[in-house]
A and B are shown apart, each in its own frame.
Chain A
Amino acid sequence: LSDRARSPSIRAQNAAPHDAYPVSSRADTSAGSDAFRAAWQIAAQVRSGVLRAERVVEDAVARIRALNPTLNAFTDLTRDRALEEARELDRRREQGELLPPLAGVPFAVKNLLSIKGLTTRAGSRIERESAPASQDAELICRWTRSGAVLLGALHMGEYAYDFTGENAHDGACRNPHDPEHMSGGSSSGSAAAVASGLTPLSLGSDTNGSIRVPASFCGVFGLKPTYGRLTRHGSFPFCDSLDHLGPLARCPRDLSLAYDALQGADPRDPACSSRAPDPTGPLLDAGIDGRRVAVATGYFGTRGLPAVESAITVAARALGAEREIEVPGAEAGRAAAFLITNAESGALHLSRLRMRAHDFDPDTRDRFLAGALLPASWYVHAQRVRRAYATAVLAIFERGIDLIVAPATPCCAPRLGQRHLELRGERVLLRPNLGLFTQPISCIGLPVVAAPIESGSRLPIGVQLIAPPWREDLCLRAAELLWRSGAARARVPPGIDPQDSPSGPNAALD
């Protein structure tokens, strides 16, 4: 390997830390909240008393009521709880207490995470009959302890087996950049809500790409951490071998702040590492100077995918990536992810498939049924391939590559209802192929940031920034560098006025 040369964009990392982060000029309590104000800005203003947390919540609720009938991103609104928590934060600050790092920052969660007092839907019809959750999921508790305020639960594909954001029970979650297009899934509401300024932070889950695919389609940043880094306590499972939880945000600084508040061991999740937290915030401005960045090729090749090619080119230039690398065994890794997911989820839902098959979304039901019928030897083979493939990919990092850049999705957001996709000149089924580039990475648990790239396409598209295990900081530092250079940005969707918070009824959420 030869050292990569400095590219002009690398110099951007030496800029003053906050030059690229314009703080809202409307920093008074009488003005309405900017819908796209960053989480770290909100927290700074609430902690200093410039902004009241209660006002932040009121404005967010007004925006949700105005925009959700179009976007269908929220399935539940926890307004009373949010106002109560916000008022408590304001009271504590007035009493002179130093507030925690996410003070007053609104957030919402994919509706597979337990929220005390709400039924955990997991995007299904069947689970709506379950009793309300008796406690919050652990990651909600951690954000709440950090001062963030829960606004509600978000739309998702049924039982998380989805890349589209379409749901037979709830209707489609729509893309804020064009409501005739898919949001992506299965963390559909998590991406759409952040993209449209309904909340600056959200939590999603990612088994095969369910954070990264909607992040790419909706044009926001998403972090799928190392497998085992974040506890999954209180989340409805999909495929235990592959399930991850992670945050979505509009800028890497928010993503880092949010992620640092989530880390920590949890013996209630057997996959959760006992490793001590690795804070990324102090490293975020360190850049990636001296790090070797390579663009994934071969299986991840972009020929015949013009929007993807443009995004990769912009990201590679900005990161100074002058090497290409073929990820060994990526196709087999994707196949392993497919089979492990299909077999484990089919077994998980077997009793529901026996008793309630007619209550499933037809698009997920047939996949679960097929998964329940797979030969066991395919599953065992897939687990062995996964292990050996992980070893082969880790060798890339051990031999000097620090970060891999790869496409996130094979296209921009398809139109709602689209069933097929033109992929390198071939007409293929859409649903199984939206995770083409994400599945080989989550299969082996590597940390990834999906970053939305400014490459000239009408609809957003993202790239994956992939690092060795436990090096989320590298993913976030690269994303920050892209952000500072202007190569990555969460665009404001057309037709959404950041200053506008019209109020209006939304009976479905009240």
Chain B
Amino acid sequence: MSARDDEDRTAQARLELAANGEVTSLDHLDWSAWISVTAPLLGLRIAPSQLEGVSAFLEAARQMAERLGTFPLEDDELALAPVFRLHDPEIVESDRRAEALAAHREAPTPLRIETKPRMEHS
């Protein structure tokens, strides 16, 4: 059995654990397992020399995904359009996205906005 076979078996075992809910955090999942499964699906070949870098960036992305969870979202808070537009009060827009955004803007913001006197740090 080759070293690569060993790696694949280990990766598969870890993915099975995750699927069974026995691993709840990707902290315990070697990124090489994820890469070995998803890269072929996309027709990508990740060379051994690229594995460390790709893994590091995937880990960075995972940490960013965790930070998304710090922002409270209701189920009806959606990103409705593939093209992001800021609401422009000077433009009369008849499409439903603008109406949805206007309705959303009237809802109370979930986060308090406070200011305080500025103190210069010494």
Shortest CB–CB separation between residue A219 and chain B, in angstroms? 23
Residues B44 and A338 in contact, CB atoms below 8 Å apart: no
- Chain A residues lying within 8 Å of B3, measured Cβ to Cβ, are none
Residues A325 and B61 in contact, CB atoms below 8 Å apart: no
Contact of B79 among A226, A271, A365, A387 (CB under 8 A): A387
Closest residue of chain A to B88 (Cβ to Cβ) is A275
Distance A320 CA – B55 CA, assembled complex (angstroms): 46
Residues A432 and B53 in contact, CB atoms below 8 Å apart: no
Residues A396 and B113 in contact, CB atoms below 8 Å apart: yes
Q: Does A394 contact B (CB under 8 A)?
A: yes
**Also in contact, A384 and B115, with CB within 8 A (given A226-B86, A378-B65):** no
Residues A373 and B58 in contact, CB atoms below 8 Å apart: yes
Q: Does A437 contact B (CB under 8 A)?
A: no
- Chain A residues lying within 8 Å of B109, measured Cβ to Cβ, are 328, 391-392, 395
Closest residue of chain B to A432 (Cβ to Cβ) is B60
- Chain B residues lying within 8 Å of A401, measured Cβ to Cβ, are 115
Residues B67 and A228 in contact, CB atoms below 8 Å apart: no
Residues A387 and B77 in contact, CB atoms below 8 Å apart: yes
- Chain A residues lying within 8 Å of B91, measured Cβ to Cβ, are 273-275
Closest residue of chain B to A323 (Cβ to Cβ) is B115
- Chain B residues lying within 8 Å of A388, measured Cβ to Cβ, are 71, 73, 77, 110
For A319-330 the 0/1 string (1 means CB < 8 A from B) is 001111110110
Q: Interface extent on B, as a size class?
A: 35 or more
Distance A391 CA – B105 CA, assembled complex (angstroms): 6
- Chain B residues lying within 8 Å of A386, measured Cβ to Cβ, are 79, 84
Distance A134 CA – B22 CA, assembled complex (angstroms): 57
**Also in contact, A369 and B38, with CB within 8 A (given A321-B118, A383-B79, A388-B77):** no
- Chain B residues lying within 8 Å of A336, measured Cβ to Cβ, are 68
Contact of A332 among B50, B67, B104 (CB under 8 A): B67
For A326-344 the 0/1 string (1 means CB < 8 A from B) is 1011011111101100100
Distance A226 CA – B50 CA, assembled complex (angstroms): 37
Q: Does B54 contact A (CB under 8 A)?
A: yes
Distance A335 CA – B117 CA, assembled complex (angstroms): 29
Residues B61 and A370 in contact, CB atoms below 8 Å apart: yes
Residues A309 and B121 in contact, CB atoms below 8 Å apart: yes
Residues B84 and A373 in contact, CB atoms below 8 Å apart: no
Distance A326 CA – B118 CA, assembled complex (angstroms): 11
Residues B61 and A384 in contact, CB atoms below 8 Å apart: no
Q: Interface extent on A, as a size class?
A: 35 or more
Residues A342 and B61 in contact, CB atoms below 8 Å apart: yes
Most B Cβ at <10 Å: residue of A370, A385, A395, A445: A370
**Also in contact, A382 and B68, with CB within 8 A (given A342-B61, A392-B109, A401-B115):** yes
Residues A328 and B83 in contact, CB atoms below 8 Å apart: no
Distance A335 CA – B42 CA, assembled complex (angstroms): 24
- Chain A residues lying within 8 Å of B116, measured Cβ to Cβ, are 323-324
Shortest CB–CB separation between residue A463 and chain B, in angstroms? 14
Contact of B118 among A228, A240, A322, A383 (CB under 8 A): A322
**Also in contact, A335 and B68, with CB within 8 A (given A275-B91, A392-B111, A396-B113):** yes
Distance A324 CA – B115 CA, assembled complex (angstroms): 5
**Also in contact, A332 and B71, with CB within 8 A (given A384-B78, A396-B113, A432-B60):** yes
> 8 extra interchain contacts, Cβ-Cβ under 8 A, other than A381-B68, A388-B71?
A240-B83, A295-B118, A331-B70, A366-B54, A371-B61, A372-B42, A378-B68, A470-B86
Contact sample, A vs B, 23 pairs, CB 8 Å cutoff: A227-B86, A271-B85, A322-B117, A322-B118, A324-B116, A328-B111, A335-B68, A338-B60, A350-B42, A354-B43, A365-B50, A369-B46, A370-B57, A370-B61, A371-B61, A372-B42, A378-B61, A387-B77, A387-B104, A391-B105, A391-B109, A399-B113, A469-B87
Nearest 8 CB-CB pairs, A to B?
A: A366-B53, A370-B57, A332-B71, A383-B79, A335-B67, A335-B64, A328-B111, A469-B86
